[in-house]
Structure 1
Amino acid sequence: MLDFPELPVRSALDDVTRALSKHGTAVLVAPPGTGKTTLVPLALAEQGLRVVVAEPRRLATRTAAERMASLLGEKVGQRVGYSVRGERRRGAETVVEVVTSGLLVRRLQSDPELSGVDVVMLDECHERHLDADLLLSLLLDARDGLRPDLQVLATSATVAAGRAAELLGAAPVLEAHARTHPVRTAYLPPARGERIESCVARAVRTALAEQDGDVLAFLPGAAEIRRVAGQLEGSDVDVLPLHGRLSHAQQDSALRAGERRRVVLATAVAESSLTVPGVRAVVDSGLSRVSRVDNRRGLAGLATVRVSAAVAEQRAGRAGRQGPGVVYRCWPEHEHSTLPAYPEPEIRTADLTRLALELACWGTPDGSALTWWDEPPAGALAAGREVLRGLGALEPSGAVTDRGRRMAELGLHPRLARALLDGRELAGVDIATEVVALLDNDALTNEIDVTTALSRLRRGAPGSDRWRREVRRLRASVQPHPGTSDRDDAALVVALAQPERLARRRGAESAVYLMASGTAVELPGNSGLRGSEWLAVAVADRSPGSACGTVRMAAPADEELARSAAPALVTTGDEIGWVDGDVRAVRIERLGAIVLSQRPIRCPEPAKVREALLAGLRAEGLELLSWSEDARRLRQRLGFLHAALGDPWPATDDGALLSAVDHWLEPELSAARRRADLRIPAGVALRRLIPWSAAGWLDEFAPDRIEVPSGSHIKVDYRDDRPALPVKLQEVFGWQDVPRIADGRVPVVLHLLSPAGRPAAVTADLGSFWRNGYQQVRAELRGRYPKHPWPEDPATATPTRRTRR
């Protein structure tokens, strides 16, 4: 047996090999630093097995291989090798190969039997990356059919391994416990208005003052790392960044112990798979960057979120490897209990276009034939398939096309694969490969202008080595197309990748652009692209609560380019509708949501004009019609009869009238063409609603006026639920009861007025009023109006409209 280092996992190696030999699957739970990533594959290889280790990140892939090779006293590429996209170091004698999860998915697609492989080790499966989840599902499918002898080992840094064991067929769960030292927890939340970078820098200084050894600080991304490094300039320590976009030399520097004290500023890459030596203090920002997609707005990218409690514990554990340590958490202590228990699986939140293509290549477009840790959300998967159909990667049935298989083989997001394949023909292979290499790793630059970013990378800006390697890989994967254009237009390649993100400025001086998808985006204030009428947007995101998205990377474009890059989005159609208070009939040419041109239609389709007029009536109400006083009263009278008697009297509320326009507004509505034509006499139209059998009863059941004892004919007020008759008190002397209408079913409410026409009393029971209320009214008003009669017995008095002679 090899002379393995004395690491905690060593005691579990025999159990792991026995479990795999007996069950074919196993789950190993071991915290970071126990040696599971390096010792387990070597122990399996010593049993004569060929092992492939799948890592979620490129950096972990390379460092794991280098560490195993060093344990064997060899160079990488001999018995231990690694493969990442665009870089491979392995040979004929390689028995342990470390690969990224995404690369192993591609290998499975081309060789579902995984010929020559005995064991697949899925490292850090608890991180729930999208490629890792897909790889697990494909491996389970391969084991069920083609390779029942293929052994699968899942490793996790957390104790939540039950689901993994269930998926692997009730696999045995083995544990290796790390020998750790106590870690004290201190909370240093940001002060009011303090940015998280400033808070982290303050916590780092505190750690340097209070603790021995090196400091490891976790930040969400490379931009935050740069800002914290700037704030720590002048410190008597080495400040080293650590993230996946650095050169190999820079990454190795952060992973080696130095002569001076070090502050390592890392992203999530240092949470589990990597060991950073010498760390005695951890500073945790409490933030992480994860994939998010907004299908409704057409924006996908990275979002900054709070870490889970499990991740916070993993980060804290880094401080207790070599001695007692401390973790400084940059959030209030009372907020710790509100953290989610575990990270959100990427499959629930990410763009699933690439996953949809892999599933189609596997022969199960909807993924229903596979066993999943978490099934892909149906809506996001359907959205991904729709994108693939637009790219020509899928048949209408969902089956993958030859073009789709070619796109998958490139190892790129399908949108970028389309930009590469079509861009080599339309713009030239050189610019196509350069732009795609940049878009596939947009964090290589802080430039908003794609053209400026390319210029700097060509001149050797930071990150250019990695960019050039990817350019060479892409150029080797596609041959120049016969008759290739030499247009050399970066914006065209960007637009081929994201045609829905072609954008046009909203106004001459505006920094807001409308994308073809219908989403508004804005250029930052310092962008040199502000003068561009058109943009090909490569990267855009949207902060919660913002009215529009923000452009992070784009190239200046024009209408001609937009038309050539997105011909499928160009449509011409007649739009007839109610717009800004009138009928608008125009023929509009659009690119998605962007209006390219429009002109009036001289003879619009009558049916659509009618629909527009109806929309106007619904939006602005029936007041668009011409309502005389008589028409309004007719509407009120009919409404009263409908409420009092029901059918056949029609309802006259807005909803009822709008639903019956075919009956009462024809033929005037059919003849109308614009708002002015809606000044239809409403009274004439309303009478069409009255059935001929009931028309003769209208004035009897709902009289317009009622004759009172004085001989006056008073208008009935039908505005309220109960009809009212406003009449001077002296005019109803001699009446014994109030009049009744609606076939005698509804008493009219009398609004009795003073001689000056002011309200004096309201009653629906005139006999009671004469007996009880009249004397009080008489006492109050006879002094003010002495010339008017105020008899003691109004029930028998003579009614009058005048004063006494």
Structure 2
Amino acid sequence: MSELPVAAALPSIVAALAEHGTAVLVAPPGTGKTTLVPPALPGRVVVAEPRRVAARAAAARMAALAGEPVGRSVGYAVRGDRKVSAETRVEVVTSGLLVRRLQSDPELSGVDTVLLDECHERHLDADLLLALLMDARDGLRPDLRVLATSATVAAERLAALLGDAPVIRVAGVAHPVTTGYVPPVRGERLTATVVRAIRKAQSDGDGDVLVFLPGAKEIRQVSAQLDGDVAILHGRLAAGEQDAALRPGARRRVVLATAVAESSLTVPGVRAVVDAGQARVPRVDHGRGLSGLVTVRVSAAVADQRAGRAGREAPGRVYRCWPEHEQATLPRYPDPEIRTADLTRLALELACWGTPDGSALRWWDAPPPGPLAAARDTLSALGALADGEVTPRGRSMARLGLHPRLARALVDHPAGAEVVAVLDDDTLAAGVDLEAALRALRRGSPASERWRREVKRLRRGGQETAGSADAALVTGLAFPERLARRRAPGSRSYLMAGGTAVDLPVDSGLGDPEWLAVAAADWTGGAGRVRLAARTDEATALRAAPALLTESDEVTWSGGDVLAHRVRRLGAIVLRSRPLADPPPAAVRAAVLAGLARHGLSLVRFDQAATALRTRIAFLHRTLGDPWPAVDDDALIATADTWAGSARNATDLRALRMSDALRALLPWQAAARLDELAPERITVPSGSRLRVDYSADPPALPVKIQEVFGWTTTPTLADGRVPLVLHLLSPAGRPTAVTGDLASFWSTGYPQVRSELRGRYPKHRWPEDPTTATPSQRTTQPKK
């Protein structure tokens, strides 16, 4: 161990902490930072790891180096499992557990140094822990030493957060790793590609193969296709199963792991890595108001770190299950969880710390204001916050170490530990039916030991006595927005109280109940699919979510008309509805306006007069601006409240006189000048009153040439600003010329027109000098 690179840096690390109180250690995997540094630090040391499996493994490794069992000088504490004694000087814990200790003892009494391991992973609990530790150090424990370690990180930013801490860098002695790509073939599922890559890795060389997969589901699918020794490693396994994966096997093994094996752990014997290129990370769907795990592409930094596991002990190989050209398109780093995850638990911890909005803390990345505000609204609805401050109920919920929704369910239904344990870890359920999963766990299944251990912890934390609970009620208490009702008899589609539709798989084993309490659902391609649920009924749903129950008069535009009903709802689910005989006029008017906003002016009728008036006003708005209003579709919809009058339905809208509606939009001064500035008709020299076409830009006047003889000045509109364009017609009414300058036309254009048309229309008048000729409505020459 003394040959590991970090060994030579130990004196510098101890000295930096003694002088500055904080320090940053940047060292790649395999340098010994997790196992050699903590025992070298003076006093009582607490090491914070991002994952339970890493915490237990690090403690076991340090204890082995000391020649002791775990729990003597080196111990650990994770949720539901602790091995320490009075002799323990180095204790390895999870970041979340250390947050809980800080909340109960902000001074961290008896602790001299905190080591924050693997800071680059940017887990939500780790970011929060860093902020709380620095706040405690600033105000309560200036003597508390803090060392942050990382493999790949923006060290300068981290050092600034730690108060301009010194940065100590240790170079690794990495063995060479060759990179190969095994892209999927057309139509091939990811797990099939991974199996091909595993077999290639086994045929190319010796040693164990470490395989990175996004989750337990994919691990099961790949494991079913492999022969030989297969070890499983993910965060939900029992401690004994995790330990087995971290011990070298008697024969060559394939170790199927999730992201837990990316750092902090050394899996002995590995010479090859197969990387599926995906990870399952927490995300919140703000549109649906739901959170969960989603599968994303890994970042380039994560792909490099996974590849490095092949070179921990000897030269190795990595096989990436994507095309080589896609490597350059990977994001550089993973998104910090604080930017994308559900912040409800974080908001509760901040409230318990006394800074509900987190503004008093120093953050690596501050919580986004919108998601944080939404999280605080959720906590208020759960009774954990009142007027922005944490309530006694909220503190009780925080002590359980669960998501606040699950904690609420346990606080409100103390017999619900068995159900909550499954809701917190839905991998305990083998199928969709929650009740069936609970029966299997009670009888004894491969996951029963882990489930019973968590149930025991929850009962102890919640002061619960043993007993069974209504699975649907507990689920509804935790996730009231996921209570769901069948949309139609015989349908597999359900509408959840939060407004999202989900489908129940045909093979769910739940039959076709009218009501479901949905514990988990997946969303792919815009469709929701129930992953875990319990049958229930309306009475249980109302008992679980009384805050979502409303009864109100609803007047809406639906199906092309106004509909009015008295409606009783559970969130978005309609429980009862009956027609309203006399709905409030204001509500009716709002519904009419909503109909216009949705469907536009197709709901009203523009006759010829209204259409002509609209084009005249549009011309003046375009030419003069204010006070002439815009009358395009969007503008008329926006001002519908001024012209829709007392219309109460679609029939009334069709009966509106839109000419009157348009005139109602004009200020009285403008209305008085409308005919002057944009006359509907123009009197031409022949005496005819002809309609101006304002739909053209600029406006046009179609007129036969013989009717404008003697007219030498082009008429204008809008106080002389716009010349009227004359569309001069033949005796047959066909266009012959277009001009906005009559004087020029008579001198240059008319002679050619006269030459071309005089032979075609010999009975009509074609004087040589049209400026002095007498205009006439009758275009033929008088008989001699």
Does TM-score exceed 0.5, indicating one fold? yes
> 1:299, 1:542 within 8 Å by CA — same for their partners in 2?
no
Match 2:734 to one of 758, 771, 776 = 758
2:190 is aligned with what amino acid?
I
Aligned partner of 1:676 in structure 2 is: 651
Match 1:418 to one of 384, 405, 408 = 408
Aligned partner of 2:778 in structure 1 is: 801
Aligned partner of 1:246 in structure 2 is: 237
Unaligned runs of 5+ in 1: none
Rounded Cα–Cα distance in structure 1 between residues aligned with 2:327 and 2:74: 42
> 2:731, 2:779 within 8 Å by CA — same for their partners in 1?
no
Change (3 A) 1:62 1:676: same
Aligned partner of 1:408 in structure 2 is: 398
Rounded Cα–Cα distance in structure 1 between residues aligned with 2:338 and 2:717: 70
1:27 aligns with 2:24: yes
1:447 aligns with 2:431: yes
Partner secondary structure for residue 239 of structure 1: strand
Rounded Cα–Cα distance in structure 2 between residues aligned with 1:311 and 1:637: 65
Partner secondary structure for residue 373 of structure 1: coil
Q: CA deviation at 1:704?
A: 4.3
Aligned partner of 2:448 in structure 1 is: 464
Change (3 A) 1:655 1:138: closer
**What is the 5 A alignment of 1:612-651?**
612-621=591-600, 624-625=603-604, 627-640=606-619
Rounded Cα–Cα distance in structure 2 between residues aligned with 1:128 and 1:696: 69
Change (3 A) 1:536 1:753: same
> 2:119, 2:153 within 8 Å by CA — same for their partners in 1?
no
Match 2:700 to one of 724, 746, 754 = 724
Partner secondary structure for residue 492 of structure 1: helix
2:366 is aligned with what amino acid?
E
1:325 aligns with 2:309: no
Partner secondary structure for residue 542 of structure 1: strand
Bigger Cα displacement from structure 2, 433-442 vs 326-335: 326-335
Partner secondary structure for residue 521 of structure 2: strand
Rounded Cα–Cα distance in structure 1 between residues aligned with 2:136 and 2:330: 37
Q: CA deviation at 1:611?
A: 3.5
> 2:53, 2:235 within 8 Å by CA — same for their partners in 1?
yes
- Per-residue CA deviations over 1:76-129 (Å, capped at 9, x if unaligned) read 333332222112222233333222221121122112222232332222233222
Aligned partner of 2:532 in structure 1 is: 553
Aligned partner of 1:79 in structure 2 is: 73
1:564 aligns with 2:548: no
Match 2:256 to one of 257, 265, 272 = 265
Aligned partner of 2:500 in structure 1 is: 519
Rounded Cα–Cα distance in structure 2 between residues aligned with 1:723 and 1:325: 80
Unaligned runs of 5+ in 2: none
1:325 is aligned with what amino acid?
G
Bigger Cα displacement from structure 2, 414-423 vs 447-456: 447-456
**What is the 5 A alignment of 1:687-726?**
702-726=678-702
Rounded Cα–Cα distance in structure 2 between residues aligned with 1:650 and 1:116: 75
- Per-residue CA deviations over 1:675-696 (Å, capped at 9, x if unaligned) read 2223133345555567777877
> 1:511, 1:530 within 8 Å by CA — same for their partners in 2?
no
Aligned partner of 2:100 in structure 1 is: 106
Aligned partner of 1:88 in structure 2 is: 82
Rounded Cα–Cα distance in structure 2 between residues aligned with 1:476 and 1:377: 35
2:658 is aligned with what amino acid?
A
Change (3 A) 1:779 1:594: same
Change (3 A) 1:697 1:319: closer
Aligned partner of 1:574 in structure 2 is: 553
Partner secondary structure for residue 385 of structure 2: coil
Aligned partner of 2:62 in structure 1 is: 68
Rounded Cα–Cα distance in structure 2 between residues aligned with 1:680 and 1:172: 77
Rounded Cα–Cα distance in structure 2 between residues aligned with 1:637 and 1:275: 80
Q: What fraction of aligned residue pairs are identical, expressed as a percent?
A: 67
- Per-residue CA deviations over 1:229-268 (Å, capped at 9, x if unaligned) read 22223xxx41211112223332222222222111111222
Q: CA deviation at 1:640?
A: 4.9
Rounded Cα–Cα distance in structure 2 between residues aligned with 1:476 and 1:599: 49
Aligned partner of 1:42 in structure 2 is: 39
1:454 is aligned with what amino acid?
L
> 1:419, 1:497 within 8 Å by CA — same for their partners in 2?
yes
Aligned partner of 2:753 in structure 1 is: 777
Partner secondary structure for residue 184 of structure 1: strand
Match 1:538 to one of 519, 531, 536 = 519
Aligned length in residues: 780
Partner secondary structure for residue 54 of structure 2: helix
Aligned partner of 1:310 in structure 2 is: 301
TM-score (norm 1): 0.88
**What is the 5 A alignment of 1:391-406?**
391-396=382-387, 398-406=388-396
Change (3 A) 1:172 1:762: closer
Change (3 A) 1:785 1:411: same
1:335 aligns with 2:326: yes
Partner secondary structure for residue 265 of structure 2: coil
Rounded Cα–Cα distance in structure 2 between residues aligned with 1:652 and 1:348: 44
Q: CA deviation at 1:345?
A: 2.1
> 2:4, 2:31 within 8 Å by CA — same for their partners in 1?
yes
2:436 is aligned with what amino acid?
T
Partner secondary structure for residue 224 of structure 2: helix
1:377 is aligned with what amino acid?
P
Change (3 A) 1:461 1:650: closer
Cα RMSD over matched residues? 3.2
> 2:704, 2:728 within 8 Å by CA — same for their partners in 1?
yes
> 2:45, 2:90 within 8 Å by CA — same for their partners in 1?
yes
Rounded Cα–Cα distance in structure 1 between residues aligned with 2:667 and 2:167: 82
2:381 is aligned with what amino acid?
G
Bigger Cα displacement from structure 2, 172-181 vs 493-502: 172-181
1:592 aligns with 2:571: yes
Match 1:501 to one of 482, 495, 501 = 482
Partner secondary structure for residue 231 of structure 1: coil
